[in-house]
Amino acid sequence: MRFKLALAQINTKLGVVESNLEKNLKWIQQAASEKADLVIFPELSLTGYGLQDLVSEVAHRPEENDPVFRELLAASENIDIVVGFVEEDIRNRFFISSAYLSKGQVVHVHRKVYLPTYGLFDEGRFFAWGDGVATFQTGFGCMGILICEDFWHISPPYLLWLDGADIFLFMSASPGRGMSDAPQLSTAQWVESINRAYASIFTSFVVHCNRVGFEDGLHFWGGSTVYDPNGELITKAPLEQEALIICDIDLNQLHRTRARLPLLRDERTALVQRELSRILSCNGSASGR
């Protein structure tokens, strides 16, 4: 009921998959040498973020015959891995994806469902929208993956919660914006508040791995965190620097918290379904992707 989790808070080189793969493999090896059972990498850890016209050049498929995933799957024989990449499907569409690898197998792939295309973000121009949110079973419990903008919308984590997620894995390449009176960016404060709230509301572990570094004027601040089902901080990575942070996850905490606060047990899903159907039928102009 316990396992060791590693957060690989790294910087990446934009569009240089070979170099990023080498770094991912190095950090995987280091995490395994420190007896971690699972290592998590940030959003697009194999490619960098602001890809634009490079998207098709850096895309890979999470398959054994793919030259990049062949090496990652081999590494997953010793430690479970979550890695971020650009995925190309059989229809030549491109997705921002994260894959969970274990014992030489692809256990799960999540495609980012919300693509920010506003302000400094331009993802909708270059990527297709993912169309599913689902949990998956691992040797360390039921998990769900979301990528950056996905967890600014309440519906994806809510759906994962209803689908049985005990551990939320959030990957991001979150650029820092704004200042505050506290000694950190207002973006960091906002992200930590959201993650703490999700941990408390959904009585689950919330794991967030954010990248660091600078890329074409964007500043990625790091500060990766893990919260327990009580909303208490388990660990936090430093701001502004690469770090491999390892912590112990006690899955027994799920039972203790949910016995005291049985929110999932008492959630009225039929009511939600009925009222959502009513709202959508009353707002004929409402649409979704």
242: left (phi over 0), alpha (psi -120 to 50) or beta: beta
Residue spans of the domains in the chain: they are 2-261
Full pLDDT tens readout for the chain, 289 residues: 899 999 999 999 999 999 999 999 999 999 999 999 999 999 999 999 999 999 999 999 999 999 999 999 999 999 999 999 999 999 999 999 999 999 999 999 999 999 999 888 899 999 999 999 999 999 999 999 999 999 999 999 999 999 999 999 999 999 875 444 444 566 788 899 999 999 999 999 999 999 999 998 899 999 999 999 999 999 999 999 999 999 999 999 999 999 999 999 999 999 999 999 999 999 765 555 6
d(CA 97, CA 89): 11
Place of tokens 């964007």: 218
Beta carbons of 66 and 60 less than 8 angstroms apart: yes
Q: What is the predicted pLDDT for the residue at 65?
A: 97
pLDDT at 287: 55
Please, are residues 31 and 8 in contact by the beta-carbon 8 Å criterion?
yes
What phi and psi, each to the nearest 5 degrees, are found at residue 38?
Answer: -145, 135
Give the angle 273-278-282 at the CA atoms, nearest 5°: 150
What confidence score (pLDDT) does residue 184 get? 54
Q: Rounded CA gap, 22 and 113, in Å?
A: 28
pLDDT on residue 119: 83
The confidence score (pLDDT) of residue 12 equals 97
- Give the containing element (helix H, strand E) for 14: none
Beta carbons of 190 and 206 less than 8 angstroms apart: no
Q: Give the type of residue at 144.
A: G
pLDDT at 217: 85
> What is the predicted pLDDT for the residue at 177?
59
Fold for 2-261, please state it: Nitrilase/N-carbamoyl-D-aminoacid amidohydrolase (3.60.110)
- With contact defined as beta carbons under 8 Å apart, do 20 and 12 qualify? yes
Rounded (10°) angle between helices 67-75 and 17-33: 10
Among candidate residues 90, 94, 101, the one with its CA nearest the CA of residue 136: 101
